[in-house]
Amino acid sequence: MYIGFAPRAGRISGHQLRRVADLAEKFGDSRIRLTTQQKMVVCDIRPADVDPIVSELHAEDLRVEASAFRRGTMACTGIEFCKLALAETKMRAQWLYRELEERLPDFNEDIRINVNGCPNSCARFQVADIGLMGAVMSRGDGTKVDGFLVYLGGRIGEGLTFGRKAKSVRVYGEELVPYVETLLRRYMQSRNGHRNFSDYVNSLSDEALTAFAAQP
């Protein structure tokens, strides 16, 4: 068997990494893989050891049965360590998925939310259901703050397509949670039988997409 789990939007501590290595050695053949979605996989687990290793991982807050938001949120390095960054990403992505878990507890379908600190797109905003591209924004008093431009409906795999830019939308970083929550609530209320967020968004005309993506 193999066990996949979700760190916190790509963040994991040294202590946790050592623990994962110990568990891979104890329950498997010491093989670990990293995924392109910032998740980790421990390979070669004996079936009888699945439950024990899942419990041990959960004790480290490494979630095997993670929420849709924790599974689907990834973030680039952002302003903490990247000299090209315009926006904070990693802590904000963790804040985002935790808040969405609280605010939309019944939402349980795959959704990709990719948070990027600048247009270089290391976390690929173009192929996310909700792609966020970091930008510098100005408040009314001229103060500079970080925020995000929004791309919707991107997808890889079957039906691959780039996300469509939400025209005139610029979201302040501190307003990211209520904005994404609003998008998801609008989607749930008006999806009209569409299979997923990307299908729904790509069924909208340009005019309807602008209305859908408008800031509340």
The strands making up 3-5's β-sheet, listed across from edge to edge, are 3-5, 40-42, 32-34
Three-state secondary structure call for residue 159: coil
Q: Which of 118, 127, 128, 132 binds ligand SF4 (CB under 6 A)?
A: 118
9 in Cβ contact with 115 (< 8 Å): yes
Verify binding: residue 113, ligand SF4, rule CB under 6 A.
no
CA pair distance 25, 206, nearest whole angstrom: 53
- Per rule CB under 6 A, is residue 127 in the interface with ligand SF4? no
Min dist CB 172 to ligand SF4, Å, is 17
The C-alpha atoms of residue 28 and residue 23 are separated, in whole angstroms, by: 8
Residue 78 binds ligand SF4 (CB under 6 A) = yes
Q: What would the two tokens of residue 206 be? A: 């340009």
Instruction: Give yes or no for residue 77 binding ligand SF4 (CB under 6 A).
Output: yes
Binding window for ligand SF4 (CB under 6 A); candidates: 74-82, 106-114, 167-175, 195-203? 74-82
Closer residue to ligand SF4, CB minimum distance, 54 or 79 = 79
As a whole number of angstroms, the distance between CA 161 and CA 72 comes to: 18
Q: Out of 12, 53, 68, 85, name the contact with ligand SF4 by CB under 6 A.
A: 85
- Verify binding: residue 128, ligand SF4, rule CB under 6 A: no
The token pair that represents 161 in the structure block:
């397509």
Answer yes or no whether residue 38 interacts with ligand SF4 by CB under 6 A: no
Task: Identify the residue whose tokens are 């966020």.
Answer: 132
In the bound state with ligand SF4, the residue whose beta carbon lies nearer, of 67 and 89, is: 89
Output helix, strand, coil percentages for the chain, rounded to the nearest 5: 40, 25, 40
Contacts with ligand SF4 by CB under 6 A lie at: 76-78, 82, 84-85, 116-118, 120-122
